[in-house]
Chain A
Amino acid sequence: DTGVSQDPRHKITKRGQNVTFRCDPISEHNRLYWYRQTLGQGPEFLTYFQNEAQLEKSRLLSDRFSAERPKGSFSTLEIQRTEQGDSAMYLCATGNSNEQFFGPGTRLTVL
């Protein structure tokens, strides 16, 4: 257990629905990252926060995706109008470029 928790662990939704995931980081870590991992691939960077500020977004983060970290603590990742291609594991991590601690992930299945 790294101390990073994610909720829910699994989410099944129908195409077109909105979904929201939550990440609770290690409290003393200022940086929080979101990654996406598809089957058979390594994690791909989506976005990261320094405290409450979202400092970088990958081109993978389409306008259907939005992330927030309102008080610099927990973070949410919302996907609107889900598509089948959004099916993946969504991983949250905290730390910095020296080390990142990953949560267990949320597996999204879009039917």
Chain B
Amino acid sequence: ELELVESGGGLVQPGGSLRLSCAASGFGFSNYWMHWVRQVPGKGLQWVSRIRGDGVATDYADSVKGRFTISRDNINNMVYLQMNSLRVEDTAIYYCVRLLNADYWGQGTLVTVSS
């Protein structure tokens, strides 16, 4: 059964760091681009980042470029999002997503940036 399970969310102060993890199972993980999409509570969706199946190519939204780093481990079927220099406006539910190509979303993990 296909599954994406996010973890690592929590409360962090502005300027702090957090690393999100996503455990994937039930599909040929290394064949797929993987994405992070976030939703500010009560507001809209924002595409954050993506990483190609081989882990070589990555892309980012302008608002996180230079602060966030996406990576993956194709041995253990994991995707990561390292978030540094966090801002209050990064507060959101972060979803790990196999986007569009047999679209599938995890349940999300909440990141709260607050002093």
- Are A and B associated in one complex? no
